[in-house]
Chain A
Amino acid sequence: MITSSLVAASIQPFVLSILASGESYGYAIIQRVKVLTGGQIKWTTSTLYPVLHRLENKGLLESDWRISDDGPRRKYYRLTTRGQKALDTEKQQWLDVHQALSELWNVSPGLLPA
């Protein structure tokens, strides 16, 4: 069980990163994170959606309603240029922290982005 503070801290980087690779909608994002973390992080609707909306307010995301491929009308989100910039900042910060901790734990710095 990942602590709630870590979960909370990671929401934004997760969302931004997932959307960086393409637009998506709320439910799908939740499922993706579940898969990525092997079930360790399971976001609820009240966890994710407010965040999506807030990020949209801040101008990091854009949204529109789309008839999706499989039929129903959904609200899709995608990253804006500001969002991309925010993501870069976020990434850098996480990596800095990661590096420092890794040194402490003597773990080889592995998870560098592709």
Chain B
Amino acid sequence: MFNLDKTLAAWRRRLAHNRAFTAEDIDELAQHLRDQVYDLSEEGLSEEEAFRKALREMGDYTSAETEYRKVYLGKLKQKRHLSSELSWRFSMLKNYLTITFRTMIRRKGFSLIHVFGLSIGLASCMLIGLYIQDELQYDDFHENADHVYRVLRQFDLPDLQATIETTPPALAATIKEQLPDVERAVRVGRSSPVVKRGTQEFVETRFLDAESGFFEMFSFPLQHGQADLNRPSTLVLSEQMATKYFSDDNPVGQILEIGGEAYEVTGVMANVPAQSHLQFDFVRSLHFSPDQLNWGFNNHFTYIQLKTGADQANVTRQIAAITKMNQPEREGSWSDFVPHLQPVTGIHLGLGVGVDISSEGRIMFVYLFGILAVFILLLACINFMNLATARSMDRAREVGMRKALGAQRFQLIGQFLSESILISVIGLVIALLLCWLMIPTLNEFAGKSIAYSTLFNTSPVLFFLGLALCTGLLAGSYPALVLSHFKPARTLKGEISGIRRAQLRKGLVVFQFALSIVLIVGTSIVSKQLNYLQRAGLGFTPDNLLIVDQVGYLGDKVQVFEEEASRIVGVEHAASGFSMPGTFYINSMWQSDEPGSEAHNLDYSFVNFDYIETLGIDMLAGRSISRAYATDSFAVMINEAAARDFGWSTEEALEKKIARGSRKYSVVGVVKDFNFRSLRADVYPLALFGPLRAPRYTAIRMNTEDTARTIASLETVWKQFSDLPFTYSLLADNLAAQYLSEQRLSRIFFIFTTLALLIACLGLLGLATYTAEKRTKEIGIRKTLGASTGNLFALLSKDFLKLVMIAFLIAAPMGFLAMTRWLEEYAYRVDIDPGIFLLAGGLAFLAALGTVSFQSIKAAVTNPISSLRSE
């Protein structure tokens, strides 16, 4: 029975799907139909016939739509319809959101991986960004940061190339007097005295000696009192030290005993921020007596502050002129330096070469991490797009249906784009959360103290928001544009072309796995090497070895100092030298005394008697230079490497002489190779002469547990010989510091390896999912033809595992080359074990297998009937 109302209602519902018609329009048209049906039935037609005729006369569906839409768009231009337009848009958006959520929930696992993949990529990028930002910001907090420089000594001579951070004390004084462009010049020295108050007695290593002008040049704000560095024996404490020594009392005006002398506390300053290259808790006033104002002994840092507008190059030239005039006439290259101004903001990242090997974050790391960050981000984003595309393939049918029901192209585009952007924004939010959670871990790994607040600085957040939106846009654009374009019938049937896309995706997966394999190889070898380094023989014993610095100040009393030091309970040996393991050695060309012999490059230095014993170096042949032999002023000890260089055996060498110019030295002893530079460099040929030049260091071998007491005693002894601060370090600590950066590097390597592998697996998962869907029918047929689950599993997985194989073939040689290069830097190195490559390949293979098997098993187990039926 034809029911006009029912039919009309159905007709209305159909029309309602089409967004071009408003409810009002539909009412109008419906009424029009009724009127026409009425008229036609008056003419004699039945209601049903009348309706059909009316409907036919109503005209072409699509052109009506087009017309209505044109009008509708015209309406948009009318301001008074704007609010209804907005509400329309909002409801559209809500619609998209609902669909997005529904789609995500329907495939929870997939969506989770999809979103997480992006989050991990964004989060790692953010964390690295924070690290880099922190590194770059060192010393930015000083008000005068742009004008403050540290003066360095640069040596660029044939036998000496180095940059050293210490300068002669006279330099600053002269600069102050003579250069108008310099606002102020401040000398700063480091020391580690024993600080005492009442019963509290500590060795404080975070100690600076500075002259007045320090607190004007640098922005270390004072909280109580003031700095009075002009007066001798004054001290400024940090907050934490004030609490340590004075608890709640006001320390200003009180006395602290430093190195046996009384200092008055004149002020308390805020704790030094982490991003300062100068880390200290105490500043005491620094004064120079007239004979200390020389050009010879270099043990202080000189900082200068230029006036605004002063030209750095100009000032450098002026300083160079000063140093040229004042260099003492004496042989040797120590005085032949060229001054170089290093901006204070560059100190942390830049030069770390020379005597002072304490620079932590080097600029190289910053670049390296920057590249890694971009890399991982790229991988994550590309993965995101890949997965989005793969998933959209499944939606082809949905798309077809929507179109058949009258969805407009722009609606589909809008939907896909909004979905994709929404997902990427969710990914961003999760990334921020992850980043926030991981900041403490980052701080631990990198030795930093990055605050949570830096995460929410506007510019990086905006950047990442933009990135997420772009990724979402790009990811959504493919399905949006391509799918919405198809004819509904085709998409319903599931015919999608995309061979090139598939190949690109495969290529990407290979790339990701290759990278992961290289990283696994890298990590294993790096950590293996590190472990080796720490256990490897140094050639001397670093434990309990204390190195006193600036012994040169003792002048000719060094010998006496050594003797006095040896007498201390707890000191086994004491011997001075121009160089110590890890410090600077002079380098020059030497020949043997045989006529016509070749010149060889040797590192050399000057050491006092008992040097070898104190350091615990093995003497392979002959003897140590000793005071027992008067001729020993022309004696030399060489190491195995030197002997080999000259072509002598250990025994042969003892009868030989080495010469430079007219000077000849007899080899009296051959020592076993020991690491006098660092484990990075090859063990260089080395020659050690007697005490022909004033030493800089004294090595003290301690044999007691109570090192603090011994050190205190040493300082007391020192005080007998010099007013200057007692500067020392423990060799073991110095070495550990060197490896710190390597350790960090290997840890971070490890993390990135895991990340890369994870991302690679995600990419593979996407690919596997997509392919599995495509082949459901094939699988169904194969099953009905009798294939077992095992067969099918193998069939489906085979292709992917092939990809991993290819990745391995690419990665293995690359990894080998890269590692060989890196290991070349080390004198003592581990072998590159082929087992590592097998391990890496195996790991990648297993990971891939795990990822793929999930999909393969699922597909293999599906009931063939259902997969064949899904048409």
Contacts and interface: CB of A to CB of B under 8 A. Distances in A.
Does chain A bind chain B?
yes
Interface of A: 25-27, 31, 44-47, 49-50, 53-54, 57, 65, 72-75
Nearest to A50: B67
Given A44-B58, A45-B58, A75-B27, A50 B70 contact: yes
A20 B81 CA distance: 26
Contact of A46 (B24, B34, B39, B64): B64
Contact of B71 (A31, A50, A73): A50
Contacts of B70: 50
21 contacts: A27-B35, A27-B36, A44-B58, A44-B59, A45-B29, A45-B32, A45-B58, A46-B59, A49-B32, A50-B64, A50-B68, A50-B71, A53-B71, A53-B75, A54-B74, A57-B74, A57-B75, A57-B78, A72-B31, A72-B35, A75-B24
Contacts of B200: none
Contact of B25 (A25, A49, A54): A49
Interface in B504-542: none
A95 to B, nearest CB: 29
Contacts of B57: 44
Interface in B74-113: 74-75, 78, 81
Interface of B: 24-25, 27-29, 31-32, 34-36, 39, 57-60, 63-64, 67-68, 70-71, 74-75, 78, 81
B11 to A, nearest CB: 13
A73 B31 contact: yes
A99 B25 CA distance: 39
Contacts of A31: 39
Contacts of A53: 25, 68, 71, 75
B847 to A, nearest CB: 60
A15 to B, nearest CB: 14
A49 B33 CA distance: 13
Q: Which of B32, B60, B70 has the most CB of A within 10 A?
A: B32
Contacts of A54: 71, 74
Nearest first, the 3 A-B pairs at minimum CB distance are A46-B64, A44-B59, A50-B67
A75 to B, nearest CB: 5
Contacts of A25: 31
B349 to A, nearest CB: 65
Nearest to A45: B58
A27 B28 CA distance: 9
Contacts of B39: 31
Contacts of A47: 59
A47 B70 CA distance: 13
Contacts of B27: 65, 73, 75
A27 B27 CA distance: 13
B74 A27 contact: no
B171 to A, nearest CB: 84
A77 B59 CA distance: 22
> Taking each of A26, A44, A53, A75, which has the highest tally of chain B beta carbons within 10 Å of its own beta carbon?
A53
A31 B57 CA distance: 13
A73 B36 CA distance: 15
A54 B59 CA distance: 19
B77 to A, nearest CB: 8
Output the residue of B29, B64, B71, B81 with the most chain A CB within 10 A: B71
A26 B60 contact: no
Contacts of A57: 71, 74-75, 78, 81
A50 B20 CA distance: 11
Contacts of B34: 72
Given A46-B58, A54-B74, 11 more contacts: A27-B35, A44-B57, A47-B59, A49-B25, A50-B70, A53-B75, A57-B78, A73-B27, A74-B31, A75-B28, A75-B31
A69 B64 CA distance: 29
Given A57-B75, A57-B78, A46 B63 contact: yes
Contacts of A73: 27, 31
Contacts of B81: 57
A104 to B, nearest CB: 35
Given A57-B75, A75-B24, A75-B27, A46 B67 contact: yes
A25 B75 CA distance: 20
Contacts of A46: 58-60, 63-64, 67-68
Contacts of B28: 26, 49, 74-75
Contacts of B74: 54, 57
Nearest to B61: A46
Contacts of A65: 27
Contacts of A27: 31-32, 35-36
The winner among B31, B70, B78 for most chain A CB atoms within 10 A is B31
Nearest to B72: A53
Contacts of A75: 24, 27-28, 31
A47 B68 CA distance: 10
Among A44, A45, A65: residue with most chain B CB under 10 A: A45
A65 B74 CA distance: 22
B57 to A, nearest CB: 6
B79 to A, nearest CB: 11
A53 B71 CA distance: 7
Nearest to B77: A57
Nearest to A59: B78
A33 to B, nearest CB: 14
B72 to A, nearest CB: 8
B530 to A, nearest CB: 76
Nearest to B35: A27
B482 to A, nearest CB: 31
B59 A45 contact: yes
A108 to B, nearest CB: 38
A49 B15 CA distance: 15
A100 B350 CA distance: 90
A44 B31 CA distance: 14
Residue from A31, A47, A57 having most chain B Cβ neighbours under 10 A: A57
Report which residue of A31, A49, A50, A54 has the largest number of chain B beta carbons within 10 angstroms of its beta carbon: A50
A45 B34 CA distance: 13
A25 B27 CA distance: 13
B617 to A, nearest CB: 98
Nearest to B57: A44
Contacts of A50: 64, 67-68, 70-71
A53 B75 CA distance: 9
Contacts of B63: 46
A110 B722 CA distance: 129
A57 B39 CA distance: 30
Nearest to B22: A53
A96 to B, nearest CB: 28
A9 B71 CA distance: 17
Nearest to B67: A50
B704 to A, nearest CB: 98
A36 to B, nearest CB: 17
Contacts of A72: 31, 34-35
Contacts of B71: 50, 53-54, 57
A46 B27 CA distance: 14
Nearest to A26: B32
B33 to A, nearest CB: 9
A54 B64 CA distance: 14
A31 B59 CA distance: 16
Nearest to A43: B59
A55 to B, nearest CB: 10
Contacts of B58: 44-46
Contacts of B31: 25, 27, 72-75
Nearest to B32: A27
A3 B819 CA distance: 83
A46 B74 CA distance: 16
B232 to A, nearest CB: 90
Given A50-B71, A75-B28, A45 B78 contact: no
A45 B75 contact: no
Nearest to B65: A46
Contacts of B36: 27
Given A50-B70, A57-B71, A72-B34, A45 B24 contact: no
Nearest to B34: A72
